[in-house]
Structure 1
Amino acid sequence: MSSVDLLTAVEDIQRAVNELELKEQQLNQQLDSCLESQAEVSRKLTLLQDVVPKVDYLIKDTVKLDGLIKHTCDLAENVSSKVRKLDLAKNRVNSAMKRVDDVLDLKNCVDGVQNALKIEDYEQAAAHINRYLSLDENLVKATTVDSAEEGSVGGAFHLLREAEEHLKGIVNEKFDTAVSSNNTVEVERFLKIFPLLGMKEKGKRKISQYLKSQISDNYKQHIEGLASTVTNDQREKMIYADMLMKLYELIAKIIEKYQPLVETYYGLGNMIPIIQAIQRECDNRASMILKAFENNRKFNLTVLSIKRSSKSVPDRVSKNPNERFDVREFDVVLNEVAAMSQRSELYFSFIRKYLQSAAELDGVESRDADISLIIRDCELSHKMQDLIGNYIALENFYMQEITTKAVGLSQSYDNITGPVTSNYVDDIFFIIKKSIRRSLSTASTDGIGAMLNNAATLLTNFFNGILSGKIKSSFIAGSSIDLTGMLQGKLQPALTETIKVKNSYLVTLNDAEVTSENVIKLCKDLEVDFRTFLDKLDDNSRHKIQSCLNDLRDTSDVFKAIVNNGSTQLCVSVIMPKIKVHIDGFTSVSHDITEETFNNYELNDPFVQNLISCISQDIQNYKEHLSTANFDLLISLLTNEITTELENAIFRSTFNRLGGLQFDKELRALVSFLTSVTQWTIRDKFARLSQIAIILNLENVNEILDYWGVNAGPLAWRLTPADVRNSLMLRVDFRREDINRIKL
């Protein structure tokens, strides 16, 4: 207040008043806020007053609960302590009872073994010995009360040890006797006893030796002499494949028969080393069959001769086929090798299934290494790999030789009528398909992949070289001859050879087109054939086969390139020179015309009808001799050339409005004609010319804006702004200043 008294100036007093009013306003707002929250504060205070009595009750209940929990905890601890004592007592009682049972069992084993041996009940005797072997001698002796009883127990153990050795000798002797007399029942009887006597490993060795002898005896009795006793010619062609199959069936039956016995009495997973031993015997017997096959069929010698001839004469396939080998005889041998491979792969699949099943039941991950060792590294697997390697070489030679022979027997092209394709094209694909399908029957991933690659190489290198060579030689030989006149039969008889070359050119184009289609069809058929086989393969093998199949499919593009290049040469070098003369005549026909001239053009067209007539005459004979696809391609290429030359001629001419209308009629007639002679759509090739015709038909320069930019609608302009201006300048009635002024 004292400070206010000191104020003397009106401005200072007014400022102080304003500050006080502002502070008063703020205080009023705070009071209003407090008054607004009064009801809520009152409600919360009321709730708190109701809760306070309940808090007292909660505190009392919490104290009671705490005491109850402590009491329960003490009680539980007390009970737990007593339970532990009871459990300890129970374990001691069980241990005492077990020792008593062991002593009683020991005495029973002594009496039981002696009685069982007297009546030759060796299974029961072995069961008593097995029980005795499970006893802890030191622990049983410690159970005895006095020295006399301890001596009795020691004597019992001594008697059982003697009985054990005696029984082992009997079992070994009886088993060997059963094996020598081929008594299967007795063999299986004593095989079950070995594990009871603690001779599991010896038992497995005995089983392995016995099963190997079974395989050997059966092989000598039923398989070894098949090759010399067969009388049926058809069966003789597959005799070695049949011998392998009988060997595999014999082994499969033995494994299926003895696996349950081994796993029951020797434990899960113990069949694996026995199968290893069986596989070694299989390797020996299968090697004998394969050796006999190689010698009697002269398989390795034939393959070796083929390889040597290929190295000494690298181009022998294409220059001197079938000089030393009758490839027709290879067909039988290749079928037999494919059958042997397929049956071997089936056998490996059987072994793999049994080994994996045994490993899964045993639960030992390291068994995977054993499986790989048995199958991948066994001698039979190596032999079959070598056999498939030679098979691939012989199959590839067979495919090349038959292909070369088919090409050499191609027909003459003196006179051809209609679209003609060489007969060897279908023959080649029949052989390729046959060879690939035969490789599929081998069930060998490496063999199938190699034959797919060989087929792709045969098409890409050999057959592509033949067709490309024919295209090149035919075109060079007939490049200076009027092909149309030749096809119409107007040449002298002296040119018959040239006619043959030209016919060969057209037929070769058809061959390349059909080959391209045949490759695609072949791959589709093979995908169907391979579907079931691929589903059984792992991801890597499946990807490998699919990659090889894709490489074969890609060879289709090689033959498409032959067709494209050959048709382009035909179009540019033979057909277009004459047509270009007529197109160049466009500039000599005035398009800056009067209405009278326009009407005269309608009656006597000076340009387009002559052009259409020329094109029609030139392409008619090609339509007769080329395949539909090749003729359509030729028309497509020809259309490209015609539109390019016609556009160049247009920009060398001048037009008025009627001239533009005349050009539009000419263009429509040309498009209509070319559309009528092909199944392909070619109107898009005339897009630029059609847009030039639109420009030449405009009434004024500014009308172009109704078709350009945002006003274009569905029209997609192929002309650039510069092309549009150049087209406008062709109109003699449009001023250059107006054209340059337009913004495009």
Structure 2
Amino acid sequence: METASVQARPDTWRDPRKLKTQAEIQRHLTLLSQRENELSVALNEIISNRTGLDDSIRRLNTLVPKVKSLQQQVDGEVVPDENERQSVPVFDEFSDDEFEDEDYGLVERIRRVWVTSERVGGKVRKLDVEVSRVKEASERVQEVLELRSALQSLREAIPKGDWELATRCCKRAMDIREEVIESAFSARVIPTSSDPSPPPQALRELRQQLLTTFKREFEEASSKKDEQATSRFFKLFPMIGAENEGLEVYGDFVTGLVRGRNPAGGKPSSPLYYVSHLTSLLESIALIIDQHQNIVDKYYGQGKMKVVVQRLQMEADGFCKTLVEGWEDERRVGRLISETTQSRFDYLANPVQNHAPSNQYGATASVQASLTALSQAQHGLANLPGAATSLLAQYAGAGPKKPLAHTEEVPGEQPDGLEEEKTGPDPRDVDKIVGEMITLSGRWALYRRFVWNRLNSDEDEEKTPVEEKSDPAAIAERKESLSVDAIDASESQRVITNMLRTYYQPLEAWYLRTSVQKAHRMDTPDLSDRPHVSSVVDDVFYLLKLVLNRALTSGSLATIRAIREDVSKIIERDYLGVLQKKMDAVYSGGGAAIGLLGTNLPGANKEAEKEKREKELRISYSVLLNDLDLSANYTERLVDEMVSGGLAEQWFLEVEVPIVRAELKTLTDIATSMRTIAKAGIDQLFNQLTRPRLRTLLEDVYKGVTYLLDEDAYADAENEDVVRKRFIKGWEPLVEGYRASFTDTNFQTFFSMMVEVMVRPWEKMVLGMRFTELGAIRFDRDVRSVANYLSTQTEFGGGREKFTRLQQIATILNLDPDEDPEDFYGSSGIAWRLNKNEYDGIVAIKV
């Protein structure tokens, strides 16, 4: 019924005054009549069920006495009985006169108990307040007596020179609450006729007297180099609340030790002069921190050594700034920078036009010897006498560097036919300056790392979540919270950073470009080795390793980031770019100009000349492709070595190591570029030389071959095995030269490309043939024999997966005559590489 009423009810009742037409009035009237009928039916149903209503009312009336009883127990109210009301009762408000003589209800009883407890508890609390006041008065009297005793003992100890006793008495007085010291009661009780000063004033004067005495005695002891007396008075400062004053006089003391150290000798022109002076300064500061930190932490508290380090750093800043400015003038690095800006890199811009053929022997050794000789200065600077065993070197986390292997270079020797550009400074001078800058920066990085480790406890490291150690934002936030700002905000840090940014970064980039250009000029293909590669790969990656090692040794995040960007640009532009230009030159006929193609033999016939040039083209192009593949492998190996070799941990703070590793790992993008270029080059070589010959391979293999075989023809085919023999005969000449000249990766790419290009026409050829039952068996054996042969030619399987479609074709052709092809396609469980149309076409070609 309820559903019907809902259906009859209009969605929206309209105001009758808004009805304008007779049709609208009639429709509205109909709806109202329908609604009236629904309501009438509903009321009739309710009236007809009067018995149920009466039963519900009776059950409610039976509950009335129980409700009244509960109300009387809770409120203490008298509720009218059932005779006073004939229907469901409604509880009204009653006046106080109606239950004056009744028992108290639960609420009233609880209220009376609460009033009683408050009355008793108030008296107890009042008593507690009085007891606490008595106790507080007693404690204050005791503190006043303690203050009077401490001040009296302090006055007696000072004339005797018993500074330890005086310090303890002063500390006793200072430990008393300030409100007690300044109270009126203390002012009345403590002053005496001999010292009528109020207690606060008396304590301040006595403490100042002690502080003045301690400063004087400490300075006298330090000037006499009396270590026992110096340590004695240094410990007394924090006991009288004078930590800052104690650290101040101690800072003056240790800076005096730094100023009084024995300076390193030598002449400014010596390559070790400035490095020795900076090392002497930083080691003296590190020695002071190492020897004195435990004492400062013990008597002044953890972290107080930071104040001393700041004083020491202020002393070092002036010396470091003067040292670097003197180095700039002595080495005339500004002139070097100016000369590098005038350098031209004509060969890198046009390697084909500017190439001069180099001699066959000694080119690689010559450039390697030159580069190694240039690095010896860096090696010598990094292993100063005494530096490897010094306190700073212990925090480097690694032993001395091993000397780099080198070969002898004849001074002034120049390979035949090679004319170097004379623009720009001598690379050997630049290498020495770069090595000296890196050594100076490295000494500062070791000192910075030492201070970091000493001022930050191991507990801070253990509390650091693992996930925060690789998050750059968390690293930066944590770095700011730790004690290294005294170093990073120093003038010395600014000077070193400015030196690296202004001089090191542009000189290192110029040195790398110049050396890469020299390596390209002296590039010599080594055709006696397998696979064929040229000398430029080893030379360039020797340089790259040298540059990255120096950048890591700087210990500067900004420098690592800048050098990484420069290396990426130089390798992509001046190394990969030149290799690409050489590859283009091979195909454009300029291979002979860059020393990659030989000259034509006079009088050779046209066919022999074509084969010779094709072989030279293949070998020349293979060398360049192998250089790219080997370079990609070297790049990945070099990055792994840099990331896991421990150099980052040796020169950078622990929180900076993840950032350094992330920067180095971005260099692997270069390897990706190298492989992309190599893949494109293999495609070009394949399309130029191999694809045309692959087109005729299958035609020659299947010349005169049919799969419409009876038993005799099948037996003859089994004996002759024509397809396999012809395929091997035609395939081996195609891959013979490449197998010997390519690297494994390049040969795998090239071989897979050959198989894929060969298989597709084979599939189409099969669809145009007809097969008997024996012919299908013979076809299956031909496919398997070719696939097995190719798999034995390489270590990576020979592209067997590319024969999947041919093998599925053979499977369809060899279906049992009684088997339904449609059922086999849907229920065989084979992952079909053939679509349904191809499947149906193969079924149809079987006779």
Q: What TM-score comes out, normalization by structure 1 length?
A: 0.71
CA deviation map 1:296-336 (0-9, x unaligned): 34445434533x23699896797776743333444444444
1:622 and 2:622 are equivalent in the alignment:
no
Give the match for residue 351 of structure 1.
451
Q: What is the CA distance between 1:455 and its match in structure 2?
A: 3.6
**DSSP 3-state at the match of 1:226:** coil
Contact 1:227/1:240 (CA < 8 Å) preserved in 2? no
Aligned to 1:528: 644
Count of residue pairs the alignment pairs up: 636
Question: Residues 41-64 of structure 1, C-alpha deviation per residue, up to 9 Å, x if partnerless?
Answer: xxxxxxxxxxxxxxxxxxxxxxxx
Aligned pair in 2 of structure 1 residues 352, 314: CA closer, same or farther (>3 Å)? farther
- Give the direction of change, closer, same or farther, for the CA distance of 1:266–1:709 in structure 2 (3 Å limit): closer
Q: Kindly tell me: are residues 294 and 209 of structure 1, through their superposed partners in 2, closer, same or farther at Cα, counting changes over 3 Å? A: same
Aligned to 1:725: 840
Q: Distance in 1 between matches of 2:144 and 2:511?
A: 80
Q: How does 1:179-194 map to 2 (within 5 A)?
A: none
2:666 — aligned with what? Answer: 551
Contact 2:783 2:807 in 1 (8 A): yes
Partner of 1:154, secondary structure, is coil
> Which digits, 9 at most, give the CA deviation of each residue in 1:500-536, with x for residues without a partner?
5542212122222222222232233223214872997
Is residue 2:689 matched to residue 1:644?
Answer: no
DSSP-derived class of the 2:834 partner: coil
Amino acid in structure 2 at the alignment position of 1:338: I
Offset, 1:640: 0.8
Tell whether 2:510 aligns with 1:465. no
Q: For residue 324 of structure 1, what is the aligned residue in structure 2?
A: 424
Map of 1:143 onto structure 2: 188
Contact in 2 for aligned 1:268/1:358 (Cα 8 Å): no
| Equivalent in 135, 141, 158 of residue 96 of structure 1 | 141
Return the offset for 1:577: 1.4
8 Å CA contact 2:767–2:842 kept in 1: the answer is: yes
The aligned counterpart of 1:208 is 251
Could you list the per-position Cα deviations for residues 345-396 of structure 1 after superposition, in whole angstroms to 9, with x for gaps in the alignment? 2322333345556999xxxx99967946423221111122223333333333
Q: Does 1:508 align with 2:624?
A: yes
**Equivalent position SS for 1:410:** coil
* C-alpha separation in 2, matches of 1:344 and 1:170: 39
Equivalent residue letter for 2:808: Q
For residues 367 and 203 of structure 1, the distance between their equivalents in structure 2, rounded to whole angstroms, comes to: 28
Pick closer, same or farther for the CA change 1:405–1:86 going to 2, 3 Å: same
Q: What corresponds to 1:692 in structure 2?
A: 809
Query: Which residue of structure 2 aligns with residue 411 of structure 1?
Result: 524
Please tell me whether the aligned partners of residues 453 and 548 of structure 1 are also in contact (alpha carbons under 8 angstroms): no
* Structure 2 residue 353 is the aligned partner of structure 1 residue 309: no
Alignment check: 8 A CA contact 2:700 2:726 kept: no
Q: TM-score, normalised by structure 2?
A: 0.63
Q: Which moved more, 1:390-399 or 1:489-498?
A: 489-498
Change (3 A) 1:99 1:310: same
The residue type equivalent to 1:634 in the other structure is F
For structure 2, list consecutive stretches of 5 or more residues without a partner in the other structure. Answer: 1-112, 355-419, 461-476, 592-596
Q: Which whole-Å CA distance do the structure 2 matches of 1:605 and 1:200 have between them?
A: 100
Partner of 2:321: 287
Q: Decide whether the 8 Å contact of 2:348 with 2:578 is kept in 1.
A: no
How much has 1:287 moved relative to structure 2?
1.9
Cα distance, 1:688 vs. partner?
A: 1.4
CA distance in 2, matches of 1:721, 1:359: 69
Equivalent of 1:228 in 247, 267, 276? 267
Structure 1 residues 358 and 209, CA gap change in structure 2 (3 angstroms): farther
CA distance in 2, matches of 1:181, 1:326: 54
Query: What secondary structure, in the 3-state scheme, does the structure 2 residue paired with 1:717 have?
Result: coil
- When residues 274 and 677 of structure 1 are mapped into structure 2, their CA distance, relative to the original with a 3 A threshold, is closer
More helix by share: 1
Which position in structure 2 is the counterpart of 1:517?
Answer: 633
Matched, 1:340 2:443: no
- Are the aligned partners of 2:586 and 2:621 in contact in 1 as well (CA < 8 Å)? yes
Question: Residues 688 and 718 of structure 1 are in contact (CA less than 8 Å); yes or no, is this contact kept in structure 2?
Answer: yes
Q: CA deviation at 1:583?
A: 2.1
Is there any run of 5+ residues in structure 1 with no aligned partner, and where? Answer: 1-67, 231-235, 734-744
Superposition RMSD on alpha carbons, in Å? 4.8
The CA deviation string for residues 670-721 of structure 1, in whole angstroms up to 9 with x for no partner, is 32332232222222211212222333445659653464221x24x3321111
8 Å contact from structure 2 (residues 821, 843) kept in 1: no
Instruction: State the shift of 1:275 in Å.
Output: 2.9
Over the matched positions of the two proteins, sequence identity in percent amounts to 21
Instruction: Rate the CA distance shift 1:91–1:642 in 2: closer, same or farther, 3 A.
Output: same
Identify if the C-alpha distance between structure 1 residues 274 and 593 changes in structure 2 by more than 3 Å, giving closer, same or farther.
closer
Cα 1:143–1:471 shift into 2, 3 Å: same
- CA shift, 1:344, in A, is 1.6
Worse overlay, 569-578 or 315-324: 315-324
Task: State the secondary structure of the residue aligned to 1:664.
Answer: helix
Counterpart in the other structure of 1:217: 260
Partners of 1:428 and 1:367 lie apart in 2 by 37
Change in Cα spacing, 1:359 to 1:570, as seen in structure 2 (3 Å) is closer
Matches of 1:632 and 1:514 in 2, distance apart? 14
Q: Is the 8 A contact 2:187 2:198 kept in 1?
A: no
Question: Which among 471, 495, 509 is matched to residue 396 of structure 1?
Answer: 509
Local SS of the residue matching 2:626: helix
Per the alignment, in what secondary structure is the counterpart of residue 293 of structure 1?
helix
- Residue 250 (structure 1) shift: 1.5
Displacement of 1:590 in angstroms is: 5.6
What is the CA–CA distance in structure 1 between the aligned matches of 2:148 and 2:590, rounded to whole Å?
Answer: 112
Would the aligned equivalents of 1:272 and 1:358 in 2 still touch at CA under 8 Å?
Answer: no
1:276 to 2:310 alignment: yes
Map of 1:53 onto structure 2: none
Residue 475 to residue 358, structure 1, CA distance change in 2 (3 Å): closer
